[in-house]
Structure 1
Amino acid sequence: MVGFLRAFAAASAVPAAAAAAYAALSSTSASPSASKLSFPPPLPASFLSASSTSGRAPSAVAPMASAAAAATVDLSATDKESALPDLTTEFMVDMKCEGCVTAVKNKLQTLEGVKNIEVDLSNQVVRVVGSLPVKTMLDALHQTGRDARLIGQGNPNDFLVSAAVAEFKGPVVFGVVRVAQVNMELARVEATFSGLSPGKHGWSINEYGDLTRGAETTGKVYSPPDYLSDKPLGDLGTLEAGENGEAHFSASKEKLRVVDLIGRSIALYATENRSDPGIAAAVIARSAGVGENYKKLCTCDGVTIWESS
Structure 2
Amino acid sequence: MVGFLRAFTAASAVPAAAAAVAAVAFSSAAPYPSSRLRFPLLTSLSPFASSSAALRTPNAVPPMAAAAAATTADLSAPDKATALPELTTEFMVDMKCEGCVTAVKNRLQTLEGIKNIEVDLSNQVVRVLGSLPVKTMLDALHQTGRDARLIGQGNPDDFLVSAAVAEFKGPVIYGVVRLAQVNMELTRVEATFSGLSPGKHGWSINEFGDLTKGAESTGKVYNPPDYLSNKPLGDLGTLEAGENGEAQFSGSKEKLRVVDLIGRSVALYATDDRSDSGIAAAVVARSAGVGENYKKLCTCDGVTIWESS
TM-score by length of 1: 0.76
Matched, 1:276 2:294: no
**Change beyond 3 A, Cα 1:51–1:57:** farther
Distance (Å, rounded) in 1 between the aligned partners of 2:300 and 2:170: 31
Amino acid at match of 2:183: N
Cα deviation for residue 61 of structure 1 reads 9.4
1:165 to 2:141 alignment:
no
Match of 2:48 in 1: none
Measured against aligned partners, the alpha-carbon deviations of 1:237-275 in whole angstroms (never above 9, x if no partner) come to 000000000000011100000000000000000000000
Q: CA deviation at 1:298?
A: 2.2
Q: Relative to 1, partners in 2 of residues 1:192 and 1:52: Cα closer, same or farther, differing over 3 Å?
A: farther
1:56 aligns with 2:32: yes
Instruction: State the match for 1:263 in structure 2.
Output: 263
Q: What is the alpha-carbon distance in structure 2 between the residues aligned to residue 292 and residue 140 of structure 1?
A: 23
Identify unmatched segments of 5+ residues in structure 2: 1-25, 41-72
Query: Cα distance, 1:168 vs. partner?
Result: 0.2
Letter in structure 2 aligned against 1:54? A
- Please list the CA deviations of residues 194-221 of structure 1 after superposition, one character each: whole Å capped at 9, or x if unmatched: 0000000000000000001000000000
**Greater than 3 Å deviation, 4+ residue runs:** 50-53
Aligned to 1:235: 235
Give SS of 1:240's match.
Answer: strand
Name the structure 2 match of 1:225.
225
Residue pair 1:81, 1:250 contacting (<8 A) in 2 also: no
- Greater Cα shift, 151-160 or 136-145: 151-160
Deviations 1:19-62 (A, max 9, x none): xxxxxxxxxxxxxxxxxxxxxxxxxxxxxxx9795323552699
Q: TM-score, normalised by structure 2?
A: 0.76
Superposed CA deviations along residues 148-199 of structure 1, whole A, max 9, x for unmatched, are 0000001111134510000000010000000000000000000000000000
Would the aligned equivalents of 1:61 and 1:190 in 2 still touch at CA under 8 Å?
no
- 3-state SS of paired residue (2:212): coil
The residue identity in structure 1 corresponding to 2:32 is R
8 A Cα contact 1:203 1:237, kept in partner: yes
Identity of aligned residues (%): 86
8 Å CA contact retained: 1:153, 1:290: yes
Which has the higher Rg, Structure 1 or Structure 2?
1
Q: Is 2:285 the counterpart of 1:285?
A: yes
SS at match of 1:88: strand
- 1:97-152 deviations in whole A, cap 9, x for unaligned? 00000000000000000000000000000000000000000000000000000000
Tell me if the contact between 2:38 and 2:149 (Cα under 8 Å) persists in the aligned partners: no
Partner of residue 105, structure 2: 105
Seen in structure 2, the aligned counterparts of structure 1 residues 94 and 105 have a Cα distance that, compared at 3 Å, is: same
> For 1:1-309, what aligned pairs fall within 5 Å after superposition?
54-58=30-34, 59=37, 74-75=74-75, 83-160=83-160, 162-309=162-309
Q: Tell me if the contact between 1:204 and 1:236 (Cα under 8 Å) persists in the aligned partners.
A: yes
Q: Secondary structure at the match of 1:182?
A: strand
- Counterpart code for 1:137: M
> What SS does structure 2 have at the residue aligned with 1:306?
coil
**Given residue 277 of structure 1, which amino acid in structure 2 is its aligned partner?**
S
Structure 1 position 302, deviation (Å): 1.8
Deviation string, structure 1 residues 275-294 (Cα, Å, up to 9, x no partner): 00100000000000000000
Q: What is the identity, as a one-letter code, of the residue corresponding to 1:147?
A: D
Partner Cα distance (1:83, 1:211) in 2: 33
Structure 1 gap segments, 5+ residues each: 1-49, 63-72
Kindly tell me the number of residue pairs found equivalent between the two proteins.
248
CA distance in 2, matches of 1:51, 1:108: 30
Secondary structure in 2 matching 1:107:
helix
C-alpha distance in structure 2 between counterparts of 1:114 and 1:82, whole Å: 16
Q: Is the Cα contact below 8 Å between 2:265 and 2:281 reproduced in 1?
A: yes
Contact 2:89 2:129 in 1 (8 A): yes
* Offset, 1:301: 2.9
- Code of the aligned partner of 2:283: V
| Change over 3 Å in CA distance of 1:60–1:235 after alignment to 2 | farther
Q: In 2, distance between residues paired with 1:233 and 1:201? A: 18
Q: What secondary structure, in the 3-state scheme, does the structure 2 residue paired with 1:99 have?
A: helix
